[in-house]
Amino acid sequence: MHSILPHATSTVPAYDPQGHNTGINWSCERRNAGGLLSRWAFPSELAEQYNGAEEWAYRRLQAVSLEGNLFETARVSKVDVGLPNDLDWVRPDIMESWYSLSREDSTAQVHPYKFTMFMLQRTQESGAVNLVQGKVFKLNYSAKIINPSSYILKGDKIVVTVGPWTSHLLPTCPVSGFLAHSITITPSRPVSAYALVTEIMLAKGKHISPEIYARKEKADICGEGVKVVQVPDTADDVELC
């Protein structure tokens, strides 16, 4: 059994640094993502123990679903939908309804790149992690060595965390690349901690559904997926507009 932080303060009692070894294959990195987490997936105690607020921009937030209408903003009578008082960086005049998806006690946010690099550094400090920088070409389920010139990593348990590249290693897994666009906005003032799932009418019969992840210093706006595409060999080769 492996811990997220394999050292003396491990949160996994069964972890034995003498008897367990973790291998990480690191290929490339991307730095932009929403970083939204559920409470069960990331205990707040971990952020408190390792100063997550400073190290990887950890903060609790609320998730809200919003429905708005840009097509009929000129209506004379507009009902106040009663947005939360601190959600003061969206236009209330176009909002038609909203409801809470989660509260601050059940949802949090991290900066994915800072969080990943911090955890990688801590695991390397343990001496129980074997970090290999390279590209995984294949998962071999037998003891037979197919390519003697390849570097072989052996393990009794393998965790595949490659997102849309999953089907490259696991062809039967129905995960593929989906083309989408996102932008980052630097606000003129700090914005409150919210993740917004929206449905906005632009014209009769035409809607958009961007997701907005607010951070202290910026807001990430993630657009909808456009189409399934063939992903490049590595994340570093993803085209940025």
Buried b (16+ CB within 10 A) or exposed e, 211-236: bbbbbeeebbbbeeeeeeeebeeebe
pLDDT for 13 equals 57
What is the distance in angstroms between the CA of the first residue and the CA of the last residue of the chain? 42
Mean of per-residue pLDDT scores for the chain: 79
Residues 6+ apart with CB under 8 A from 178: 164, 225, 226, 227, 228, 229
- The predicted-structure confidence for 199-230, as pLDDT tens digits, reads as follows 999 988 899 999 999 988 888 898 887 777 78
Residue 132 tokens, joined: 């290999």
pLDDT of residue 21 exceeding 80? no
Q: pLDDT higher for 151 or 182?
A: 182
Residue 237 has pLDDT above 90, yes or no: no
Are the C-beta atoms of residues 10 and 50 closer than 8 Å to each other?
A: no
Confidence of residue 236 (pLDDT cuts 50, 70, 90): confident
Length in residues, the chain = 241
Taking only the tens place, the pLDDT of each residue in 111-153 is 888 888 898 888 888 777 777 777 888 888 776 666 666 777 7
Q: Which helix (H) or strand (E) holds 130?
A: strand 129-133
- Taking the C-alpha atoms of residue 33 and residue 14, their distance in angstroms, rounded to an integer, is 32
Confidence of residue 43 (pLDDT cuts 50, 70, 90): low
The pLDDT of residue 209 is: 92
Q: Does 6 score more than 50 pLDDT?
A: no
Please state, in angstroms and rounded to a whole number, the distance separating the CA atoms of residues 71 and 119. 46
Is pLDDT above 60 for 4? no
pLDDT above 70: residue 234: yes
- How many whole angstroms separate alpha carbon 119 and alpha carbon 22? 13
Q: Which of 22-26, 119-123, 189-193 has the highest mean pLDDT?
A: 189-193
Place of tokens 């939360």: 84
**CA-to-CA distance for 128 and 145, rounded, in angstroms?**
25
| 161 pLDDT higher than 90 | no
> Is the pLDDT confidence value at 177 over 60?
yes
Q: Could you tell me if 197 and 213 are in contact, meaning their C-beta atoms sit under 8 angstroms apart?
A: no
Q: Which residues pair with 24 in a beta bridge?
A: 131
- CB of 220 within 8 A of CB of 34? yes
Domain boundaries, the chain: 1-58+109-159, 62-103+170-241
